[in-house]
Amino acid sequence: MNAPFRTIALAGRFQTEGVAASIAAIGDFLRQRGIAVLLEKNTADAIGRPGDAADTEHIGHEADLAIAIGGDGTMLGLARELAPYEVPLVGINHGRLGFITDIGIESWQEALGSILDGHYLAEERTLLTARVVRDQEIVWNALALNDVVVNRSSRMGMIELQVDVDDLFMYSQRADGLIVATPTGSTAYALSSFGPIVHPQVQGLVMVPVAPQALSNRPIVLPDDVSITIRVIDGREPRVAGDMQVFSDLQLGDDIIVQRAPFRSRFLHPPGYSHYATLRAKLNWHELPILQQRDRS
């Protein structure tokens, strides 16, 4: 039995139809169990509960748990904000895909009840730090749970990048972009660019070129304690993105330095959670195990 939760924060994609009602229902459910409820400020304003509003710092210091109600984007944003405070997260899927918001909206009460009773699986997820260095000054920095992407924002031409790993030259490449992904992010943009799926507990990072000019430029898995420096050599309107949610324009000669963050995000899952079941459901791996197929024949 794990320690009880006394204060829980809620954050939701309030723009989506039906999410406000779900947030209100979850809040009532928690209060009935004697749990104090904090609402992320924008969420509180949107659903008409400004009296329960709390900023990130307040949530970080006071909450024992935070719940994201929405899609994976909601969970990504909440994870970036709260990871420095080591507040564990639960994701309730009110979106479409739901790789990391693993609790379905139709079953939230049972799943959340189990977690509140102390029955859950805890999982640590790696984050990345990214900073842009220009003329020896840091001009931008960000956290990312999924990935850091350097690409061209123009429709014309490719971007040319030089990549060093731990100050050792790795390669130069021309491509539409380059993705550095965590294991969590290996099932996001990196997967659509033919990168490998990496289990969340593997201590590694994936570097995946996007539509490279040379077909010999392939994805590679690196140890997660390396420092990756991506220098912009050439290209029109280059930019960098963290989780495809926070952006910065780049200039030629900029260095984008990507490293593992000094803290991790802690996800809580209800009993019975399986990463493989998530992959089967989201990637349509619907074939039955061989023994079951034989039993049916």
List active site positions.
72
Identify the CA nearest to 212 among candidates 257, 248, 153, 160: 160
Contact 64, 5 (CB under 8 A): yes
Cα–Cα distance, 221 to 166 (Å, whole number): 15
Q: What is the DSSP-derived secondary structure letter of residue 51? A: G
Cα–Cα distance, 94 to 90 (Å, whole number): 13
Contact 99, 282 (CB under 8 A): yes
Orientation angle between helical segments 19-32 and 108-116, nearest 10 degrees: 40
Give the end-to-end CA distance of the chain in Å, rounded to a whole number.
Answer: 43
Identify the CA nearest to 80 among candidates 146, 161, 174: 146
Cα–Cα distance, 226 to 238 (Å, whole number): 24
Distances (CA, A) of 27 to 3, 12, 22, 52, 104: 20, 12, 8, 10, 17
